Structure 1
Amino acid sequence: MEDTRTVIRSGERSHNLHETNGVLDQVSSPLRREVLNRSVFSMKPLGSEETDLEDGKLEKDREKSVRSNRVVRIHNQALLSGFAYCISSCSMILVNKFVLSSYDFNAGISLMIYQNLVSVIVVTVLSFFGLITTEPLTWKLIKVWLPVNVIFVGMLVTSMFSLKYINVAMVTVLKNVTNVITAVGEMYLFNKHHDNRVWAALFLMIISAISGGITDLSFNGIGYTWQIINCFLTASYSLTLRRVMDTAKQVTKSGNLNEFSMVLLNNTLSLPLGVILMFVFNEVDYLSTTPLLRLPTFWLVMTLSGFLGLAISFSSMWFLHQTGATTYSLVGSLNKIPLSVAGIVLFHVPTSLENSASIFFGLVAGVFFAKAKMRERSQS
C-alpha cells in the first residue's frame, strides 16, 4: 500500500508517478511560503567615515544572520518533511496489515471506503475554511476523470487483497514489478528510451521478485495473484494519469488541477464504486455479522489508517516541494528497507536466509533503479 497511497493520494506522487515522464515536476506545494519583509536600506546621518564603516559592518552582520536563518529554516523543513513522509508511508502499510491480518478483517473494500471517506471529509473541511483550494466537482470533470478513477479503485482494492495474504517485505519487493511494466509502457506509448543502467536495475528487480517468491516460506498463490494484478493496475494508472490530467485541466474553471483537487476527486468518485464492489464481493453480509465493528479500538485503528493515508498526501507534497523529484524518488526507495524489516519483525514472518537475501537484493535493486532514473533525468 505504500506505493499505492504514495502514487494516488498525492496525485502522484505515487513512487510510480515519479516514474512517469515528469509528472512529479507538476506537483505544487500546499504550503504557503513565509515572506520576510526586512528593510536593508536605512537613512544614515552624515558623519565620520568610522560611523559609515561601523554601519556597514552591522549591515553585513545582519545580512549574514538572515542568510543563516534562512538556511536553517529550509534545511529543517526538508528534514522534517522527509521524516514525516517516511513515518506516514511506513505506518500506513503496517496499520493496514495489522487491520487485515491481526484483526483478521475480511472486508478490504470496506476498509478502503472508510479510509477514502475520512480523506474526503478532511479535505472538504480544509477547503471550506480556506486552508487549501480545490476545484469544484463538475459533471464535465467527473466524466473525464471517471475512467482513471476505475483503475484507481481497482488498484486500492487489489492492494488490500494482496496485503492480507502476503507479508509486508514480499509485497514491497513484488511492487518493483510495477516499475518494469511502467518502463515498458513508457517505451511503447511515449517513445521514451531508457539507458542501460535503468534496464539493468529492472532486470535485477525481476530476478529478486522471482527468487523471493520461490523462497517465500509463507507463499500464498491467491495473494501473489492479487499483487501481480495490482502491479498492472498501478502501472496503468501512472501511464494514464498524465493524459487524463491534461484533458481534465481544460474542463476546470481555473484551468488547473492541483493535488488536493485530485485527492478530493479520486476519493469522492471511489465511494460509489466501492459500495458496488462491496455487494459484488458480498462484504455486506460479513459486516453485518462480524463482532469487530462493535470494538471501539478497531474503529480507532481504522480511523488512524484513514488519517495516515491523507498524511501521505500532505507530507509527500511538502517533501517534494522542499527537495525535488530526484531526492523524493531516492528516499522513497530507501524507505522500503526499514519498512520490510519492520514488517518481518512486527508480524513474526517466518523467513530463511535465501528469502531474506532475495528481499534485500530486491530493495537494493530498487535503490539502483532510483539512482539510474535520477541520472537519466539529469542527462535529458
Structure 2
Amino acid sequence: MCLKKCLVGLTFCTCYLASHLTNKYVLSVLKFTYPTLFQGWQTLVAGILLHVSWKLGWVEINSRSRSDVLTWLPASVLFVGIIYAGSRALSRLAIPVFLTLHNAAEVIICGHQKCFRKEKTSPAKICSALFLLAAAGCLPFNDSQFDLDGYFWAVIHLLCIGAYKILQKSQKPNKLSDIDQQYFNYLFSVVLLTLAAHPTGDLLSVLDFPFLYFYGFHGSCCASGFLGFFLMFSTMKLKSLMAPGQCAAWIFFAKVITSGLSMLLFDIILTRETMGCLLLSGFGEALLVFSERKGS
C-alpha cells in the first residue's frame, strides 16, 4: 500500500510539472494568448477522455439528473473563471510568481471557515494563512518583472479558487462525487468557452497567430490537453488514497519542483526581495501541510 501511494504521488508530481511547463511554453514562449480557445481545447480533450473512461468502466459517473446539474452550475461557472483567469495570468507571470498568488486562495478559505462557519482553526493554519497573504501582498511591490494585467488576472484566479472550494464544501454531503463534479465542469466549460470565442475576438484573432501551422505548437497543444486530464485524474486518485495531510505534502512538493525547474527553463529575474516573497509563501504552505497532518 505504501508503494502504491508513493507511485500515485510521483505520478501526480510528474503530471503537475509537465502540465504547468507545457502550458507556460504555449502561453509565454509561443504566445498563444487566446484563452477561450486554449482552455476550450483542454476541457474538450479532458471531457472526451473522461467520457471514454466512463464508458470503458474505468470511472463511475453516477448522477445525471437535472437538479444535480443545476445545483452544481454556480461551481461550474467558477471553474471556468479559474481556468480562464489562470491562463491569462500564467501567460504574463513567471510560474513561481503565479503559484505564490495561487496559494493565497487558502487565505479566503481559512477566513471563511473562521469568520462565517465558526469552525475551530488551529494556530498553525492561521499563521500559514497570514504568511501566504503577506507573501502575495508584498510580491507586486518587489517583482522586477511586474505586469499589471498578469497580477489582475491572478487575483481573479485566486478569488475564483477560494469561492469554488467554499461552494464545494458547503454542498457536502451531496449526490455528486468528485468525478461527477469534474465531468459537469468540463461539459459546461466547453459550451461556455465555445460561445465566448467569437465575442472575445479570439476566434478571428487566432488566424493571425504566427505558429498556427507549426508542428511544435500542435504537439504542445495536444500534450496540454492530455496532461490536463491526467493531472485531474491523478489528483483525484491522490485524494482518495491519502489523508489530507499526506495529499497536501505531495501538492507542496509538486509546486516546489515545478517552481524550481521553471526558473531554469524560462526567463525570470530574481531579486533578494522577490526571492524572500517566494520563500515566505513556501514556508506558509509548509506550515499548512504541518497543520493538515496534525489535524488528520
> Do they superpose with TM above 0.5?
yes
Which of these two proteins has the greater Rg computed from alpha carbons? 1
Aligned equivalent of 1:91, options 5, 8, 18? 18
**Do the aligned residues in 2 keep the contact of 1:161 with 1:226 (CA within 8 Å)?**
yes
1:117 aligns with 44
**Runs of at least 5 residues in structure 1 that lack an aligned partner in the other structure:** 1-73, 250-256
Residue type of the alignment partner of 1:223: G
1:201 equivalent in alignment to 2:137: no
The count of aligned residue pairs is 296
How does 1:304-343 map onto structure 2 within 5 Å? 304-343=223-262
Which TM-score applies when normalising by structure 1?
0.74
How does 1:209-248 map onto structure 2 within 5 Å? 209-244=136-171, 246-247=173-174
1:163 aligns with 90
**Do the aligned residues in 1 keep the contact of 2:33 with 2:88 (CA within 8 Å)?**
no
Deviation for aligned residue 1:205: 1.5
Residue type of the alignment partner of 1:122: L
2:106 aligns with 179
Deviation for aligned residue 1:180: 0.6
**Do the aligned residues in 2 keep the contact of 1:109 with 1:160 (CA within 8 Å)?**
no
1:295 equivalent in alignment to 2:295: no
CA distance in 2, matches of 1:270, 1:198: 33
Runs of 4+ in 1 over 4 A off after TM superposition: none
CA distance in 2, matches of 1:196, 1:127: 42
The SS at the match of 2:71 is: helix
CA distance in 1, matches of 2:172, 2:23: 29
CA distance in 1, matches of 2:171, 2:128: 29
The SS at the match of 1:146 is: helix
Residue type of the alignment partner of 1:144: T
CA distance in 1, matches of 2:6, 2:257: 17
% same residue: 20
1:4 aligns with none
The SS at the match of 2:211 is: helix
**Do the aligned residues in 2 keep the contact of 1:137 with 1:265 (CA within 8 Å)?**
no
CA distance in 1, matches of 2:141, 2:263: 17
Q: Deviations over 1:270-294 (max 9, x none)?
A: 1111123323321111123324332
The SS at the match of 1:292 is: coil
2:284 aligns with 365
Residue type of the alignment partner of 2:218: W
Deviation for aligned residue 1:327: 0.3
Residue type of the alignment partner of 2:213: R
**Do the aligned residues in 1 keep the contact of 2:82 with 2:160 (CA within 8 Å)?**
yes
Deviation for aligned residue 1:245: 5.0
**Do the aligned residues in 1 keep the contact of 2:124 with 2:291 (CA within 8 Å)?**
yes
Residue type of the alignment partner of 2:11: A
Deviation for aligned residue 1:352: 1.5
Residue type of the alignment partner of 2:102: K
1:137 equivalent in alignment to 2:64: yes
CA distance in 1, matches of 2:206, 2:62: 34
**Do the aligned residues in 2 keep the contact of 1:148 with 1:244 (CA within 8 Å)?**
no
Deviation for aligned residue 1:345: 1.5
Query: Given the superposition, is the C-alpha separation of residues 109 and 367 from structure 1 closer, same or farther in structure 2, using an over 3 Å criterion?
Result: same
Residue type of the alignment partner of 1:289: D
CA distance in 1, matches of 2:208, 2:135: 41
Deviation for aligned residue 1:136: 5.5
Q: Deviations over 1:311-349 (max 9, x none)?
A: 112212223333322100122123222211112211021
**Do the aligned residues in 1 keep the contact of 2:72 with 2:181 (CA within 8 Å)?**
no
| C-alpha RMSD of matched pairs (Å) | 1.7
Residue type of the alignment partner of 2:196: L
**Do the aligned residues in 1 keep the contact of 2:13 with 2:253 (CA within 8 Å)?**
no
Q: Deviations over 1:247-288 (max 9, x none)?
A: 5x1xxxxxxx33322221110111111123323321111123
